[in-house]
Chain A
Amino acid sequence: MIRTRASIGLVASAFVLAACQTTERASYEAPLRQGQVLDPPAAAEKPTDAGPDFGLVNADTIAHDGQYFRFADLSPGERPSPETLEAGLWQSMDRAEQRIRTSGNRVENGELNEYLTEVTCRVAGPHCGDVRVYVMRVPAFNASMAPNGMMQVWTGLLLRTRNEAQLASVLGHEVGHFLRQHSAQRMKSAIEATNFLAFFTVATGGWGGIAGLFAQGRILAYSRDHEREADGYGLLLMNRSGYDPREASRVWKNLIRERDANPEKDDRDPFLATHPAPEERSEILNELGGAVATKMDKTEAGRDRFLEIMLPRRAAWLRDELNQRSFETSSELFDILLEDDPNPAEILFFKGELHRLRGDEGDEQMALDFYTQSLEAAGTPPSDLHRSRGLVHNRRGEAAAARQSFEAYLEASPNASDRLIVEDMIRRLATS
């Protein structure tokens, strides 16, 4: 949760210092290799329905290469004992959860929340009761997991995922953080590293700078490995619940496109210090996802159901996206959505809105062109379209066209909250 606001130099050094870790791939496969090795279970419990590599024996046991591993640190319903660091973090997160639960930007739509809980439960399996999902209205691609099982999913993520399997890959990643209690692990590691640093500094009479880089590098490398492991969990849990694991890497492919559309792209984003590069995640998830998929009898993307829930709520999220005034990346996002969207009229309208809001040379004409495309495209454009079109015509001094659009707007939404204002504009245009 806590961002590392390290200086660029420090981040760079951290990368250098972290170069001596295990290979990345092994971290992604960690759910299958780490964890406690168990005695083989009784014959009755042996996995039957999955391949030799991904056999799930029960709630927290997995078979891999003829060995059995425990892949969850906590049994379903288990709470850490009161004297542990985990318990301290859980308690402080319980307090934070109350704030989140009553937060002003929480989206409290029943159907949406039920759906997310349902998908979370499907990937979390026996741990379903340990995780609670909160949808937050934030126009960025993210989800987070607190050690006590409080998961936040941002609307910017719901806007960008294209089917249930992609959503499940993210939710599975977050559940992986919970199963391994990564926050607590990271905090323990930070305590060890800073304790060492304190003693090293006083023992050497102030040589803390070098040791500080080591401590910082270690903490960041640890964080990146946790993200890789959580990605591995995403695949594992998708496999367990029948989602197509190949969808996990597609999320990253789209995010890379969106990021590259930003002319002021900052390659030194501190986010990259705590997370692996999107390219790496996309590539390895693609490879591993493909391997997992070949071992599955049936894989599901769940696109129809997903879109049925998201589409009716999407207009507000698209508006939030535009309000960030990051036009290049928004434009790229809209193009990605248009590639396979069942309601292109809505996306095209917002492309028009983008040009209307930007207002550079030629944007007014572009806006009008997109509004026209929107009206001709499949699906239903938002009722605001005619008002926006009226505003652009009005700006260009085209009184008749503006009036026509405003009248069309009031006809389409007779109970619009801004009816009086629009009527007033129509009157002024009539007398001009």
Chain B
Amino acid sequence: MFSTIKNHRRAFRSLVMATLAVFALTACVQTAHKTTGTLKAGTENRRIVLMPVDIELSVLNAGGVTEPRADWTTAGRGHVRTALAAHTSAFEAEIVLPENNDILDDLDEDQLQIVKLANAVGSSILLHEYLPQMKLPTKNDQFDWTIGPDAKLLKEKYDADYALFVFLRDSYASSGRVAVIIIGAIFGVGLQGGVQAGTATLVDLETGQVVWFNRLARASGDLRNADAAVETIKLLLTEFPT
């Protein structure tokens, strides 16, 4: 950096992470929000596109600084993708897995903006539907969220009826952090270890309506491991419409 800066770019992401961390500390029960329990009937082959997973795995160091790990993240992305495909194959829908599952390189500018919007809407849902003090009075207790009719851009791109957006963050306490937690416990101080947190958003690409949303936040799980990733995805996709 060259000169003075006021950076708000990461602020929103941090807020989302902080929200999820609060959930993790309070070990919440899984409750999905949805507008429907079933996918659209009548179509022969309903298609759900699994959008590239936004995922990061990191080490929680002794002093509380989280350090992203590229090798774990790459492995974790593969495990999650496999687990998602396996889990959703049980649904009566065809699953579309885009080839380029890392940074959406094959999307044009407009399609990318829709993905960014979907991520922003997902963050807002997390904030306003799960924290009672952040409830929006104008929603009148209805679960009513949309990314707007331009969702059709993704419908055309993937020839799909629905898009599933998954966001995951997983951190693991280093041995030093574990030691600090243990010593802290002796002195009666509770310190946070690793956290697994994430959200999943299912969007109807015809209307842009969010038809199902769930979040996960807990102090267990391990996405570095293929079997454990299957369990995480099962939990994340609780009450997924069938």
Contact = CB atoms under 8 A, between A and B. Distances in A.
Interface size class of A (residues with CB under 8 A): 35 or more
Interface in A81-113: 82-85, 87-92, 94-96, 98-99, 102
B3 A205 contact: no
Given A88-B58, A140-B4, A194-B61, A102 B113 contact: yes
Interface string A1-12: 111000000000
B140 interface: no
A84 B1 CA distance: 23
A160 to B, nearest CB: 10
Contact of A269 (B4, B56, B58, B64): B4
A142 B6 CA distance: 10
Given A94-B103, A98-B103, A157-B2, A196 B63 contact: yes
Contact of B3 (A102, A193, A255): A255
A66 B180 CA distance: 49
Contacts of B64: 194, 198
Interface in B57-77: 58, 61-65, 67-71, 73-74
Contacts of B10: 1-2
B62 A199 contact: yes
Given A82-B74, A91-B70, A95-B54, A191 B63 contact: yes
Interface in B1-39: 1-7, 9-10
A1 B1 contact: yes
A187 interface: yes
A301 interface: no
Contacts, number: 119
Contacts of A191: 61, 63, 65, 67
A274 B3 CA distance: 10
Contacts of A177: 1
Nearest to A234: B2
A83 B69 contact: yes
Contacts of B149: none
Contacts of B73: 88, 91
Kindly name the residue among A94, A157, A191 whose own CB sees the greatest number of chain B CB atoms within 10 A: A191
Contact of A142 (B1, B9, B69, B104): B1
B141 interface: no
Contacts of A85: 67
B2 A143 contact: yes
Contact of A91 (B62, B68, B104, B109): B68
B112 interface: yes
Contacts of B136: none
B71 A198 contact: no
Given A3-B6, A94-B103, A102-B116, A145 B1 contact: yes
Contacts of B189: 202
A144 interface: yes
A190 interface: yes
B5 A194 contact: no
B238 to A, nearest CB: 27
Contact of B70 (A90, A195, A198): A90
A275 interface: yes
Contact of B7 (A3, A91, A190, A202): A3
B184 interface: yes
A198 B63 contact: yes
Contacts of B180: 198-199, 202
Given A2-B7, A202-B183, A173 B65 contact: no
B63 A205 contact: no
Contacts of A197: 63
Given A95-B103, A191-B65, A198-B180, A271 B56 contact: no
Given A3-B6, A98-B103, A142-B2, A82 B61 contact: no
A88 B68 CA distance: 5
A141 interface: yes
Interface in B73-125: 73-74, 103-104, 109, 112-113, 116
B157 to A, nearest CB: 16
A398 B146 CA distance: 52
B178 to A, nearest CB: 12
B190 interface: no
Interface in A62-87: 82-85, 87
Interface string A183-221: 000010011011111110011011000000000000000
A16 B56 CA distance: 38
A269 B113 CA distance: 36
Given A3-B7, A102-B113, A269-B4, A195 B62 contact: yes
B116 A99 contact: yes
Given A87-B70, A174-B2, 12 more contacts: A3-B5, A83-B70, A84-B70, A87-B69, A102-B113, A144-B1, A157-B3, A190-B65, A191-B63, A194-B63, A194-B65, A203-B183
Interface of A: 1-3, 82-85, 87-92, 94-96, 98-99, 102, 140-145, 157, 170, 173-174, 177, 187, 190-191, 193-199, 202-203, 205-206, 227, 255, 269, 271, 274-275
The 8 closest A-B pairs by CB, nearest first: A194-B63, A88-B68, A87-B70, A82-B71, A271-B4, A195-B62, A202-B183, A91-B70
8 contacts: A3-B6, A83-B69, A91-B68, A95-B103, A141-B2, A195-B176, A199-B176, A275-B1
